[in-house]
Structure 1
Amino acid sequence: MYKKDLAISISLEAAELLECFQWKSTEEAISENREAILEEVADVMIYALQLIDSLGEDAAEVISKKLEKNRRRF
């Protein structure tokens, strides 16, 4: 897969995740769409992990570095 296509797929799957919450309270959305929410989150994560891998990086290391950066910022 091309890196651009993976990035596009992340955005599209994130939009599908947002649809699970559209016009509902958080509680309603989770109650009504829990399985769909989990599936969409998984899709986003799968594409993100594939993109990291396609860039030749280790996902655990990339995430760890970002968490540390965020910790220092906040």
Structure 2
Amino acid sequence: MTETQELDVRRLAPAQRHSTIFNTFFGLEKDGAFVLVNDHDPKPLYYQFAAEHADEFTWDYLENGPEVWKVRIGRR
């Protein structure tokens, strides 16, 4: 099993977060994944993935606040 990359976007400007996350996602191999670290529930990001890439991703909460959220995002 390979180590899963962690992408901590808490220090990025909000306008840079989604593009950075999607660039990381598109850089994954099939069945690859990374762990998103955020300072709020990234539910709007989930809805964007669901609308634009419905059958291409997986989404699993690993930590659910209140200060840090971690989500494992995988590519199918």
**Same-fold call, TM cutoff 0.5:** no
What TM-score comes out, normalization by structure 2 length? 0.32
TM-score, normalized by length of structure 1? 0.33
Q: Which structure is higher in helix share? A: 1
